Amino acid sequence: MNSLLLRGGRIVDPSQSFDAPADLLILNGKVAALGDDAARLAPPEVERLDVAGLVVCPGLIDIHVHLREPGQSSKEAIATGTAAAAQGGFCTVVCMPNTTPAIDTPSTVAWVQQRAAQEGRVNVLVAGAITKEIAGDELASIGSLKKAGVVAITDDGHCIQNNDMMRRALEYSTMFDLLVMDHCQDYSIVTDGVMHEGYTSTLLGLRGWPAEGEELIVARNILLAERTGARVHCQHLSAAGSVQLLREARRRGVPISGEACPHHFTLTDAAIAGSDTFWAGDGKALYPDVPAASLPCWPNYDTNLKMNPPVRTAADREAIIEGLVDGTIEVIASDHAPHCNYQKEVEFDVAPFGITGLETELALSLMRLVHSGRLSLAGLIEKFTVNPARLLRLAHKGSLKPGMDGDVTVFDPDREWVWERSQTASRSVNSPFYGWPLRGKAVATVVAGKCVWRDSQPAAKRRKTGK
């Protein structure tokens, strides 16, 4: 069935400044009514879902996900990746093009779209490559990719080092109104760094990755966006300097945006040394009610903490949070990057970058931003719905207005649970958050009026906040 009546939930829809208990009716895959009319207009045979005491919001969107197909299905597949997305409360994901082969031709776009239609649990949108084979040497056929249905272009996992080529890519993108998403990394200064360059990297004897390696490309992208008028999106920002550059550019009206990942506003580089990072930037414990001895910790050199860009200092973490709070950073995304166990079970230096994140993204964001009092619940939902839909020009998503796609996320913002390896729907388990006591959990995921995932676990204890 693709019709559903959700009854009694707290509906939070930032697109229409709606936050109140109400019913929601979806008919034939589209939002039909919100509020008093929903129950009255519901046909007798429509499925009903009691969501009293839960938050109901537009379907969450993650614009930065690696589904690994084609060619890397030992790490993840469209079927397993979208199952993880559904379990995390996400109705729409944008898959990155650094696959084998790269998604740089219309035929590969069509293959992914067909596979997603057959096996995907949620909506799968495709990002095409900026350059052929993501090699940074020759532009891909951007117009053909747009015609094939890509919603953005990016060489994610790589960064175009040739500034003139990046300028040409931006000029082409304006012809097709495509968002250009950039992995900001200057190879000449990052070189072979494997973690943030600072005290901890020196302590551990690991090659450092300076924050300037990101900031230089962010600055370049700002200059080129200002010159060309192209829409540029800086992916997975990690450095305080990047946030400040973005803030100043946006004040000038430059068409540039940025995203943050939960691991960058939750962890610091001290975790790689096995240090306790369960503390907020203001010195207050993240888990004031949990004895410190019972909190999980990491072994030194844990490769599940190796990511690109790396987690950085407490000051960088605080700057990312401030950027989210003041609107400088508009979007939260997971950068879900699965890898096989054998690839991560090696020395830190040679392990691949990346962690999984779809299933913990919502909880970590609630904990670090909402439960800490830094951001309202509506403000957080906006970064998962309205803002990514606007950036990608998704006219029928990100809202619960009548006529919009019937994509809905239902979650309990106060559910307390512990993330375990046995719970994941992903094919890979390279997450640093196993064993963490989390707060906030998706309960149901609805795509086009059909409930594609529901939490089968009994409700755990809930901590009331009044927020």
The confidence score (pLDDT) of residue 462 equals: 52
Put simply, whether the predicted model's pTM sits higher than 0.75 gets the answer yes
State the Cα–Cα distance between residues 312 and 364, nearest whole angstrom.
17
State the Cα–Cα distance between residues 85 and 359, nearest whole angstrom.
7
| Mean pLDDT, range 396-414, rounded to an integer | 98
State the Cα–Cα distance between residues 203 and 187, nearest whole angstrom.
24
| Mean pLDDT, range 159-182, rounded to an integer | 97
For the record, the structure tokens of 134 come out as: 């993501």
Domains and CATH numbers, the chain: 59-399+419-436 (3.20.20.140)
Q: Which of 13, 335, 412, 455 is catalytic?
A: 335
- Torsion angle of C-alpha atoms 418, 420, 426, 431, degrees rounded to 10: 90
Indicate whether 289 pLDDT > 80: no
Over pLDDT 70: what percentage of the chain?
Answer: 93
Confidence at 458, pLDDT banded by 50, 70, 90: low
The confidence score (pLDDT) of residue 287 equals: 61
| Mean pLDDT, range 393-413, rounded to an integer | 98
Active-site residue, 37 included:
no
**198 or 280, higher pLDDT:** 198
Average pLDDT, the chain: 93
For the record, the structure tokens of 371 come out as: 């439960």
179 and 152 Cβ atoms separated by less than 8 Å = yes
Indicate whether 75 pLDDT > 50: yes
State the Cα–Cα distance between residues 157 and 336, nearest whole angstrom.
12
Q: Are strands 450-454 and 195-196 parallel, antiparallel or unpaired?
A: unpaired
Q: What is the pLDDT of residues 230-287, one digit of tens each?
A: 999 999 999 999 999 999 999 999 999 999 999 999 999 999 998 755 544 444 556 6
Q: What is the pLDDT of residues 367-391, one digit of tens each?
A: 999 999 999 999 999 999 999 999 9
309 and 214 Cβ atoms separated by less than 8 Å = yes
- Could you give phi then psi for residue 347, rounded to 5 degrees? -60, 150
54 and 394 Cβ atoms separated by less than 8 Å = no
| Mean pLDDT, range 3-26, rounded to an integer | 97
**296 or 176, higher pLDDT:** 176
State the Cα–Cα distance between residues 60 and 388, nearest whole angstrom.
9
The confidence score (pLDDT) of residue 288 equals: 59
> Which residues does 23 contact at the CB level (< 8 Å), separation at least 6?
5, 6, 7, 8, 33, 34, 35, 36, 38, 39
Indicate whether 327 pLDDT > 60: yes
| Mean pLDDT, range 336-350, rounded to an integer | 97
| Mean pLDDT, range 208-224, rounded to an integer | 98
| Mean pLDDT, range 200-218, rounded to an integer | 96
